[in-house]
Amino acid sequence: MPIEPFSDFDPYGGELAPDVLVGCLLVSTPALDDPNFNRRVILVLDHGLHGALGVVIDRPGGVTVDQLMPRWHALATAPAELFTGGPVARNSLIGLVRLVSREAAAEGAAGRPEGWRMVVDDDRPIGTVDLATDPDALGDAVVAARLFSGYAGWESGQLEDEIEEGSWYVVRAEGRDPISADPEGLWRRVLKRQGGALALVAGFPVDPAHN
């Protein structure tokens, strides 16, 4: 249940709830004490009647990309580490890349990554990529990459229930979020830029007893 000072907050920050959450950020509320997600930010990659899937974008994993996927190291934005995307299938890898422009995302565009799928629509859009793609073949189309080990997953209706119960705020992602050079400060920054009630949550202490 939501912590009392924030029990009346709208999880969508006063915006209309989107029908599809792909490209949205799930920002954990102070009520969520699961150690996998406490004060974490998740980018939703897939969402529908079947359920939802996303990756935690603010938890560097300590292992460098060069150690596991050396071909992608040159494109990996700092910190160039394999991020912990979530507790599910930790041996699986998911890649996100940022393209140089919307034009580079067009079907058939030169250097467009194999299997690329838009997640965050931006002047330089973010999308998922097949990590079997040879990054040397991408030319100048890709300007940044981030790799994740594991993911967060929800069965049909489960994520919606968690939002309703007060575990997540839902906001639109900006193109810089998934590849931030300061990922561990993302929770506060995302909340603060929303303004209003959500901005107040950014100052909520780690230990509620200190409030």
Specify the range with the lowest mean pLDDT, choosing from 67-71, 94-98, 161-165, 193-197: 193-197
pLDDT at 205: 77
CA distance 59 to 168: 17
Question: What pTM did the predictor assign?
Answer: 0.92
Q: Which domains does the chain have, with CATH numbers?
A: 4-210 (3.40.1740.10)
Q: Which residues pair with 168 in a beta bridge?
A: 28
Mean of pLDDT over the chain: 91
- Summarised one tens digit per residue, pLDDT across range 55-105 is 999 999 999 999 999 999 999 999 999 999 999 999 999 999 999 999 999
Cα angle: 160, vertex 5, 159; to 5 degrees: 10
Residue 136 has pLDDT above 80, yes or no: yes
